[in-house]
Each structure stands twice: as C-alpha cells, then as structure tokens.
Amino acid sequence: MLLIVLCALSAYADVDNRPIVVFRSDDCSTDWNVPFNGLGGMSGLQYGTLKHIPITWAVISSRPGQGSSFTWAQLRAYLDANGGEPASHSILHDPMPTEQGYVDEVVNSKPAIEANLPGYTCNTFLQPGSWTGEGNMCSYEQLDRPTGQAIRATYAQSMAYLGVGMTIGGIYYRYGTSNNFSIDYQSYPTISGVNYLLDAVAATPGLIYVISGHAVQETGKTETYHINAEILKATMDKLADLRDQGKIRLMSLHEAFHTTFSTNLNCVSDPNFDLENPSVMQFPWTVGGSAQMASTGGVEDSRFCSLQDSTSTLRHVQLTLAPGRYQLDWYQKVVNNKQNSGLVLALTEYGANYTPANMGANWAFFVNNSPNTWEKKTALIYVPDKTAMNSMQFQPAANGGYGIDSVSLVRAPVDAAVSPSACAIAPSPGQCTLSWHTPADASVLNVVSRYSSTTHPLTPTTGTSFSSVAAQPGTDQQVTVPINWTTQSASYLYFSVFGSKSGGAYTPPDIMWIKIDKTAPSTPVVTASRSTNGTINARWSSYEPDSQIVQYKYAVGSSYGASDIRPWATTSDASAIITGVSKTLAVYVSVMAENQFGFWSSSGSTLVSAPSGIAGLVALPNGSTVCVTGTVTAVFDGCYYIVESGGVRGIRVVGPTAGVHEGDSVVVQGRLNSQNGERHIEQDGE
C-alpha cells in the first residue's frame, strides 16, 4: 500500500507549518522494479529516484528477494538515495491462528528488517489488511490487548483501522489510524483529481494527510490493488513540484509523526472555499442537494458556499481532533430570497471503525439578526478522547437558505487562572452532580452553569439554568441538582460553566456534555436455589454497554415478575439471600436493573420449585430440575442420603455436606442424574 501523508505547515512564529508529505508503499512489490510506458519507460523505483521522493516502505520481512518482492539491496539503494524509512508490515502478512502468533509477527519482524538493513531503524508498524480477530487494530480496546500492547512497546507509531480523518496541528493518536486516500485502481483516481487534492492539502497549514496504494501496473490495466503508472507519475510529479515551490516538505512517516506544529491552527481545510471544485472532487468539503459555490459575494466579496434551500448540505470531510475544547466560528447570511428560519449545525463524533458515537453539536439552529448581512456565529465544541473522526455539517432549516463563509475551528482550552476548569458531570437516577475547579480570582463572585439540548450556551443568560453558587476561589466545588432524566426529550445535554463577576461580566465557560443513555440495561438473567434450611440463594447478571448499572431490585412472587410474596427491595449487589419464604411454595424470584439515568430493565425471573416427594422423581429423566424435602439418614464425604416422610423412598444427594447431620429435615434443589444405575440429585451450589 502506497501511502502519502501530507502535513500542511505554514509559517507561524518560529514553527514551520508547511506541508509534510509521507509517501508509503506496502509490500515492496517487484512491480516497482518493472519499466512502464506510463512512467516514460522507467520503473517506479527509477521514477521515484528521478523525482527524489522519500518513501516509507511497508516491508513483509520474509519476502524481499523471494519473487514477489524486490531485494534488500534494492530497498537499501532507494533509501540511501532518496530517504524514507523501512517499516514493518509483519513477517508473513498472513492471518494467525492464535493471538501469540500475531504478537510474534509484530515483535520479530523489526529485528529481521534491521538485520538486513544495517544502519536503519524500524520505527513504524503498518498492520496488514489481512489480519483479523486479535490482530486487527480496529478499536481502542484492541490496542490494550496483547497484540496492541506489543505494537506500542516495539514501535514509535503504527497505522491500522481505527478510522480515517484529516489531522491538523500534529499527531495525537499515534497508533492505529488509517490513510485518507488511496491511489490504487480500486479507488478510481484521476490525474486531475490527484492534482486538485494535493493543491488543497498543500494550502492547509498543519494538515496531516494520508494517500495509499500498493503495487504498480501499466496504464489501462485494472488490477484492484495496483497503481496505474500514469497516476503514480502524476502523483510524484505533483509532490516534487509542490516541494520545489517550498509549499510542502517530504518526510518519512516517523519524521512526520514527530514534527511539532503551531497549536492555534485552523482545523478546517479550505475555510474560505477558495479551491473547492465539486465537479473535480468533493474535497475537503462535500456539498449536497442544491448547494453550490458562488464566485463572488462572500465576506470580502470572495467565494462562498450557497446553501440555496433546505435540501442543501455542506459537510467537511472527517477530521481527527485531539480531545479538548474547540471554538467553531463562521459567517452566514440569508440567500436566494429564503426565510431566516435558521442554519442548522451538526457535529458528529465517531468512535473506532467508523461508528457514530456522539454529537458534539446536536442540530443547533443559528438565526441571523439581520438576514441579508454576513454575521459571525460561534459554537463551542468539546471533543472527548478516543473519537477517531469528527464530521461537521451545515444545512438550512425548512424554507431557509444561507450562505456560509470563513469557517474556523481552533483549539480553545480554558485558562484555569481565569475560568472554571476541569468540569465533570456525574449522573445518577433523579439527579445530576456537576463539579469544577474555581479559579483563584477574587473577582469571580459566583459560578453559574447553564445547559442546552443542542449546543453549549455562550453566555450566563442563554440556555436553561442549572445552578448558581457562591465562588470559593482556588477550590474544587460541586453542586447536585434534581433532574428527571427519564422525562428528558433530548438525547444530549450541553453544559457551560461560567465565572460571574460584578457588573454583568463573566469568564469564558468551561464546557462538558453528557449523552443520556435511554436504553435500559439488559434483562437480568436470574438463577436461584434453595438451601437445606429453605433459604433462597439468588444470583443475577445484566449488561449495560453505554453507561453503568447503579442498582438492582428483586422480589418474590407467585408468578413471573410478581412481588406478592416478597415486595421489591433494592441492592447494589448482584446476589441476595432471601429468608422467610415458605419452603413448601414454588415461587419466582424476579430482578430488574437500573442505569445511571434511572431507566429500568424489564424483569428477569426464575422459578424456585416447591419440594415434592422422592417417589415421584424416579420417573423423571436425567437433567430434570427437582426440589424435594426429606430427612437425612446418612452423611458421607461429598454426598448424603435422604428419605421422605414415612421412610418409604430415599435418594442420594451429591453436594456439600458441611452442616448436614443425620436426622436433619432438609430441602434439596438440583438436577437428577444417574451413576452405576443409581439415581441421585446433583445439588445446586450454595
């Protein structure tokens, strides 16, 4: 796979923020050493050397010189002449039958590469696409498992399949993210598209961009994981041209991932729509419906995006944002003689493997004060950890039409010396606890918190009031407020915490949002047994993937889910010992689970059978669940015998004998079985 990472770097102060390009090629295919007409009769290795393109080579360490891959000597010659790096692509590139097999592939390929390339260090691991199961780094949880741990312990960075996003301002997720764009045939790239794409990337300060491909093939060929020769030539030509103009730098992946960028860069590419040309490629913005690019009339009579009606959409390609607080600004005005019904913003935060996880802004409406005037609008965004991608979309509300220009998304951490900081939300059934650190500033008189269901309030008078408490400068504070989560129509609440001063002044807010988990825990799976004295021992389990289980309640009844024998009682434990229930009754033990937001699961129940006579058991098949009463007649190691009233029939009980004595009256629950022709009861555990 051929990978190009472009990190746009424009000069900010003493930091060079011009683009950095990493060109990556997977598998070291022998096709790279074959002359092609599309490369002017040169091979990919020769053309790359002509243009002096450093490449990060993904090396399958068992293959160089074995027929499918060019030799170690050829790899060294290219690295010596052009730069780049040798990265591990495993030993065999094959799926492994065990987790330890993947670990061995990760750990042992590095020394194999370094032994064949003295003087070079293998710093990067590039996961094979054929790896599955424990070898596929498609989630953050996988990075914490043995294979992921081996990657992080052995290499300085890796690439895999957590998700793909444009990274601006330096790498935060150093392990497991994916490439942005493939120039293999299977992606149907065009020369005009490649040139347009690289111009847009080169014009974006601080951008890290990834282009991928595999082997090389002649122009007109259609092998899926091969780069057509004319596309490879166009890509290398454009990269060399941009480098020679001083617009980008070419580095290895390792070098790019360890480059420092300015921290105040705009995380949006082409914010003024100067380059956007949807007829060539939808990048970096994607437009839908009736949206179009207007050549004049923007904020400075420049280009802008015209969302002409409510079918129009404007969406930025996925961004990979480091966790923290951001400020999103843009300009908008009503266009096309439409109503000022509101421009709607949605910012979706994706977890690993392209799974929508959260909403950084939940379809918030922004209306102009003066419809025909460009007005600046602002939204605050909190990005949590382990969100590999973030997607931003604008769309007019019904009957509306808006122009958009000058979009800016920048990091905006709060100053803990000025504003409340370290804001955290702790939900529990029927209430919410909000905590923060109050700045050591005597001019902050109160701490005011507000919330909204769509986006973070920007002032202490917008949104809905949550609390206002007297400030205790330089301390950690918290407030608990009653809130019925189960009646909230919204799925998210966005909190802003301000420091309030005299004369109506206030600090910038710290922000945090919470997703209301309205999905109740799974129905508890309940098991129960009767002890010899009639006590019911109940256990249960339930699953809550999106929040936490805070408590359970259990009851005893004469039917499934009923509580007519023992009323509902709450507990934080996943078990209960129930006494006082007649041992002659067949009863149901029922359990429900509650999550942090007060949503209860449906009831899970199990039958605790009433004791029956021993005589009636012998006709039942093995495996039947039974419950009998009897008198203990003999006790042995690991078993005892009981006889029913009147001493007519008896049966052996296999189970714990501690506390069991001859003459005891007992209740036994368990399963029927046979051994050497003798029926017995395998007693349920205590």
In angstroms, rounded to a whole number, what is the distance separating the alpha carbons of residues 249 and 12? 16
Q: Please give the average per-residue pLDDT across 564-588, as a whole number.
A: 93
Q: Which residue has the tokens 């555990």?
A: 685
Beta bridge partners of 425: 434
Both 396 and 442 in a single domain?
A: no
Mean pLDDT of the chain: 93
Domain harbouring 42, CATH code: 3.20.20.370
Domain span holding position 647: 614-683
Domain for residue 359, yes or no?
yes
* Per-residue pLDDT, 160: 95
* Per-residue pLDDT, 2: 47
Both 393 and 301 in a single domain?
A: yes
Domain harbouring 659, CATH code: 2.40.50.200
Digit-coded pLDDT (tens) for 101-152: 999 999 999 999 999 999 999 999 999 999 999 999 999 999 999 999 999 9
| pLDDT greater than 60 at residue 10 | no
Q: Please give the average per-residue pLDDT across 11-27, as a whole number.
A: 83
CA distances (Å), origin 448, targets 433, 477, 514, 552, 608: 14, 12, 18, 35, 54
Both 602 and 618 in a single domain?
A: no
With cut-offs at 50, 70 and 90, classify the pLDDT of residue 12: very low
Q: What is the DSSP letter of 105?
A: H
Q: Please give the average per-residue pLDDT across 190-205, as a whole number.
A: 94
CA distances (Å), origin 481, targets 437, 533, 606: 18, 47, 38
Both 387 and 332 in a single domain?
A: yes
How many CB atoms are located within 10 Å of the residue 314 CB?
24
CA distances (Å), origin 434, targets 495, 501, 507: 9, 20, 18
Q: Determine which of 4-8, 57-61, 554-558, 596-600 has the lowest per-residue pLDDT on average.
A: 4-8
Digit-coded pLDDT (tens) for 485-505: 999 999 999 999 999 999 999
Domain for residue 265, yes or no?
no
The residue from 515, 545, 566 where one domain ends is: 515
Domain for residue 492, yes or no?
yes
| pLDDT greater than 60 at residue 305 | yes
Q: Determine which of 93-107, 175-189, 520-534, 613-627 has the lowest per-residue pLDDT on average.
A: 613-627
Both 294 and 339 in a single domain?
A: yes
Domain for residue 274, yes or no?
no
The residue from 591, 608, 625 where one domain ends is: 608
Q: Please give the average per-residue pLDDT across 60-64, as a whole number.
A: 97
3-state secondary structure of 616: helix
Both 25 and 126 in a single domain?
A: yes
Both 100 and 238 in a single domain?
A: yes
Q: What is the DSSP letter of 571?
A: E
In angstroms, rounded to a whole number, what is the distance separating the alpha carbons of residues 194 and 183? 8
- Return the closest-CA partner of residue 319 out of 414, 208, 462: 208
User: 665 vs 510, which has greater pLDDT?
Assistant: 510
The residue from 555, 575, 608 where one domain ends is: 608
| Token pair in block for residue 10 | 């424009």
Domain harbouring 536, CATH code: 2.60.40.10
CA distances (Å), origin 97, targets 103, 112, 147, 381: 11, 22, 13, 43
Domain for residue 235, yes or no?
yes
* Per-residue pLDDT, 685: 66
| pLDDT greater than 50 at residue 1 | no
Domain for residue 271, yes or no?
no
Both 121 and 141 in a single domain?
A: yes
| Token pair in block for residue 634 | 């003999």
- Return the closest-CA partner of residue 256 out of 444, 391, 56, 427: 56
Both 17 and 149 in a single domain?
A: yes
CA distances (Å), origin 186, targets 27, 183, 242, 685: 17, 8, 26, 59
In angstroms, rounded to a whole number, what is the distance separating the alpha carbons of residues 58 and 73? 15
* Per-residue pLDDT, 353: 64
Digit-coded pLDDT (tens) for 509-524: 999 999 999 999 999 9
Both 134 and 222 in a single domain?
A: yes
Both 54 and 144 in a single domain?
A: yes
Domain for residue 253, yes or no?
yes
Q: What is the DSSP letter of 615?
A: G
With cut-offs at 50, 70 and 90, classify the pLDDT of residue 534: confident
| Cα dihedral across residues 86, 91, 94, 95: positive or negative | negative
| Token pair in block for residue 592 | 């429900």
85, containing H or E segment: strand 84-88
Both 560 and 673 in a single domain?
A: no
| Token pair in block for residue 105 | 């592939």
* Count of structural domains, the chain: 5
* Per-residue pLDDT, 630: 87
Cis bond leading into 567, ω under 30°?
A: no
How many CB atoms are located within 10 Å of the residue 286 CB?
17
With cut-offs at 50, 70 and 90, classify the pLDDT of residue 3: very low
| pLDDT greater than 90 at residue 377 | yes
Domain for residue 396, yes or no?
yes
Domain harbouring 289, CATH code: 2.60.120.260
> Cα–chain-centroid distance for residue 330?
27
pTM, full prediction: 0.87
